[in-house]
Structure 1
Amino acid sequence: MPVLSEQIRERIRAEFPKYPDRRAVTLPALHIVHDELRQVSPEAIREISELLEIHPAEIHDTMSFYNFFREPDRPLGKRRVWVCRSISCMLRGGEELLENLSHKWHVGPGQTSSDGSVSLEYAECLGACEGAPCILVDDECHMNVSEEDVERIVGKQ
Structure 2
Amino acid sequence: MVHLVDIRYHQYGSTTPGGTSTPISTSPTAPSRVATVRFPLVCGTSLVELDGIIHVNNDNTNATGTQFVTVEIRRGATLIYQSNIEIDDEVLDDYTFVTFKHIDPLHVRCMEDVVYTLSIHSNVTNMFFHTPVNFTAKRYLIDSNAR
**TM-score (ref. length: structure 1):** 0.21
More helix by percentage: 1
More strand by percentage: 2
